[in-house]
Amino acid sequence: MLDHHSDAYGLNDLGDIAGWALQFGPSQPSVVWTADGQTLRLPVGDLGVNQIQGTAEHINNHGDVVGLDSNPGPHGGNPDFEPLGWVAFQATEASPVVKANLLSLVDPAGVAYWRRLHPFEINDRGEICGIGVATDFMGTSGGARGFLMVPNTPDRFRNLSRALRGVNGHPVLIAKGTLEPGTAVDVALYKAAPNASGFLMLGLDTLYAPLKGGVLVPDVGSAGGVMLPAITDGSGAVTLASTWPVGIPANVEIVAQYWIADAAGAHGFSASNAITQTSN
């Protein structure tokens, strides 16, 4: 059960929940309830802290959150709104939460055409959708319109789904990196069977072949395909940090998926969702 006087709006595959709670005083800040039972208050925007009514709408598997801060103004006056995105809510003193007004991320030429944004969802790719109030070139309101924000250089891998359930539910695979030569690549598997052996399957294309009651997404049997042995830790996780090698040409599609030995899985295996990214 979540905090008294709270509301939950978004849930990711790891069990983290986004919403708001009143436990932090007179304001209503956006919060994240983590899968391990913590309640984390997200930083407020620039509207002030005393009268904030925050709503964290959605959280993806990377821990990126989108939502809205509003200040209703004195005596029920016209409210102010600030569309917000938060990155890395799992913050420490050495690595604080990164907060951004979403309008500051829009091309300056387009900001003048949006008077208000309300983000509703962010996927693992970092793409954000919602509703906003647009204006025409004369500054006249054009009414509510849906919007989609797409990163200029996505550093999150796209989720292809197709996970196969195991002892801890569906294993979750995420990765971050632009796949530019010499840049960092971070890959993480969660919710797999603990202390289990398996393989990270890598291919240069998708296959979508039936396997052990699930679907093998990477084409590991064609040129460039590879199976890397892996062992999960006591929580069912595997984390890898590396550097994208020099010499791999641009526009090469990389497809990845974990398969793990799992007595609770169909035919003795579970599988993560598959992910993909294109090299730069």
Summarised one tens digit per residue, pLDDT across range 179-198 is: 999 999 999 999 999 999 99
Instruction: Say whether pLDDT at 277 is over 80.
Output: yes
Q: Are residues 138 and 12 in the same domain?
A: yes
- The secondary element (H helix, E strand) that includes residue 146 is strand 141-149
Assess whether 144 and 181 both reside in one domain.
no
pTM: 0.80
In-domain check, residue 22:
yes
Same structural domain, 12 and 141: yes
Q: Has residue 101 been placed in a domain?
A: yes
Q: Which of 18-32, 56-70, 220-234 has the lowest mean pLDDT?
A: 18-32
Is residue 171 in some structural domain?
yes
Residue 61, in any domain of the structure? yes
- Indicate whether 66 belongs to any domain: yes
d(CA 19, CA 10): 7
Neighbours of 266 (CB within 10 A): 15
User: Domain boundary residue among 149, 171, 195?
Assistant: 149
> What is the per-residue pLDDT for 42?
82
Residue 1 in any domain: the answer is no
Overall number of domains in the chain: 2
For 204-259, the pLDDT digits (tens) are 999 999 999 999 999 999 999 999 999 999 999 999 999 999 999 999 999 999 99
Q: Binning pLDDT at 50, 70 and 90, where does residue 97 land? A: low
Q: What's the pLDDT tens digit per position in 102-137?
A: 777 776 665 556 767 888 999 988 889 998 877 655
If asked whether residues 33 and 87 sit together in one domain, one would say: yes
Contact by Cβ (8 Å): 142, 261: no
107 lies in a domain? yes
Question: Do 73 and 167 fall into the same domain?
Answer: no
Based on the domain organization, do 172 and 121 belong to the same domain?
A: no
pLDDT given at position 193? 97
Stronger pLDDT, 74 or 234, i.e. the higher one? 234
Identify the pLDDT of residue 107: 66
If asked whether residues 122 and 234 sit together in one domain, one would say no
End-to-end, the C-alpha distance of the chain in Å comes to 45
- Residue finishing a domain among 129, 149, 169: 149
Q: Are 95 and 178 members of one domain?
A: no
pLDDT for the residue 73: 55
Residues 105 and 180 in one domain: no
Both tokens assigned to 66? 């989108």
CATH code of 163's domain: 2.20.130
Residues 16, 117, single domain; the answer is: yes
Mark which of 115, 149, 183 sits at the end of a domain: 149
Range of the domain at 255: 158-278
What is the full DSSP assignment across 202-247? EESSEEEEEETTEEEEE-TTSTT-EEEEEE--TTS-EEEEEEPPTT
| Mean pLDDT for the chain overall | 83
